[in-house]
Structure 1
């Protein structure tokens, strides 16, 4: 083990120890909050159903029932999911939680029990996974255009006959407007060498661009490419892909989580976790919003996931294997990354990091002619 590895191992061990201690403290607090002291008698509240961490398919009903001592008085029980009220009872009866309108991932169920004198709150987590097997699609190349092999493509959008492209890597990151027919930059700026540029998107007359690990986004004038302002990330750990649905910015951070940002002040307001029928789908990268769906490159693969923005379900996978012929690959050619949609012309474009080509494609179901 190298000294750097030993240092990393020690830090991880300390963090793990801290997490264990924190978990113990939280357990004590939870148990204390779930107990009612009446003289010498302790009455512990909890959930009979569901079990902690139990997994359900989205749309499946979840039986929710509290384990309340028979002698306990109950005036009202309020049930919440992720802090939002979903039901209320004046007794100890179970109820069926409908999940069709919830999003995927971990959901926190809370019950606030009122006995007329005090209120106790108990919580439990369930996991909602996709019940949908994604449809399998492939592609047909309709047209091919040049692409700059120095462009480590991180963001790609089509607007009025040209591409908005942001390119990454420390020391060579750029923001540029690119001609479709030639692949050459019409206007461009170099990004400060201390930043690794990531996804970008046009919002009105401004361009919003992310950085990778610097916890900061940039705002530019779309015509001059002059920097106007910056903004911080509030919750997400990194910046990867970015797109715009006409109201909100949609952001990936390299995990299976997609964030929704206010289109005016760029604050992270909500998120979805992305799952297919086998589990969570990680390393979501460059994004494009097309006809109400989120299209996402999956980093280091030739797959594009088509995602329902309401709940995080992967509805389709597009296999782009072989899109760049072997004869067009060079030593610096990297992975597939870059999706752009021409809404007016109904044209879909894809490319990759340092690809020599950009492709107009049609998506077709696998197995079709």
Structure 2
């Protein structure tokens, strides 16, 4: 069963702030965002989504970050960061059932964004609170909280460094131990900047990223910032499941090579997918 406490907290959350944030990742006055067009971009793959399996997912989660990993008690799990003021938490879930196995709330004044696992730590970032929490991945307890400049949207770990987005077209690289910035790269498609970069997943030296307010996911070469593939995920959530759902957000590499878990904010479903030529 899904966490009943979450459902109760959702009803009691800070109404005004919650409604404001429902407009998107973290801003209530965001303008509509045009999808990127890879049609005439040389060397850019156009991909579509092939659904392999469909699972239940807690529709109470305003999904901001997602990562598959092994837990010493629960086995293969998804770590998930859920946002909104008064509702934010970090949780461990069963990918096959959607059950919430463990959870820790954030302070009501913090809006949780992306998360990622390093070799030893679980990092969770916040939207406008300039705070990153380094957590114990087993217990979810906060070990340390550090400050950073700018907004926090998505984050992933490539095995050597953290890669973080802030909603712009810039990715920031960070030290996985101290969270200190070590460099940046500007993301472009056919020479044009690609903004609204949100949830991230690092896989085999590449960065996969949700583009907020769109049904697109892009694959970025972090060495150059160039977008090398664009995934069209339109129609992934069936219309009969879309009542109350927000935008696509949440990408996690699956155990099988080339497969990914995808979900969205307040989505009642989690999908195991492959990306195939469009």
TM range (shorter): 0.7 to 0.9
3-state DSSP of counterpart to 1:204: coil
2:52 equivalent to 1:142: yes
Aligned partner of residue 234 in structure 2, secondary structure: coil
| Unmatched tracts of structure 1, length 5 or more | 1-130
- The structure 1 residue matched to 2:245, chosen from 320, 327, 333, is 333
Does structure 1 residue 169 correspond to structure 2 residue 79?
A: no
The correspondence for 1:200, drawn from 115, 120, 123, is 115
Q: CA deviation at 1:204?
A: 2.4
Q: Is the 8 A contact 1:132 1:276 kept in 2?
A: no
What does residue 128 of structure 2 align with?
Answer: 213
Shift of 1:344: 5.5
Checking the alignment, whether the CA contact within 8 Å between 2:220 and 2:226 is kept in structure 1 is: yes
Instruction: Name the structure 2 match of 1:358.
Output: 270
List aligned pairs for 1:1-369, cutoff 5 A.
132-160=42-70, 161-234=76-149, 237-277=150-190, 279-330=192-243, 332-343=244-255, 346-366=258-278
Specify every segment of 5 or more residues in structure 2 that has no aligned partner in the other structure, as ranges: 1-40, 71-75
Task: Say whether the 8 Å CA contact 1:238–1:254 is kept in structure 2.
Answer: yes
Runs of 4+ in structure 1 off by over 6 angstroms are: none
**Partner SS, residue 238 of structure 1:** coil
Distance 1:361 1:188 in 2: 26
Within 2, Cα distance between the matches of 1:203 and 1:306?
A: 21
The answer on whether the counterparts of 1:133 and 1:276 sit within 8 Å (CA) in structure 2 is no
Q: Which moved more, 1:203-212 or 1:171-180?
A: 203-212
Shift of residue 347, structure 1, vs aligned partner: 2.8
Report SS of the residue matched to 1:327: helix
Scaled by the length of structure 1, the TM-score of the pair is 0.62
RMSD: 1.5
Q: CA deviation at 1:176?
A: 0.4
CA distance in 2, matches of 1:329, 1:246: 36
Bigger strand fraction? 1
- 1-structure distance, mates of 2:220, 2:111: 27
Deviation at 1:230, TM superposition (A): 0.8
Q: Is the 8 A contact 1:162 1:178 kept in 2?
A: yes
Deviations for 1:309-363, whole angstroms, at most 9, x for unmatched residues?
A: 1010000100000000001111x21000000002465531111001110001111
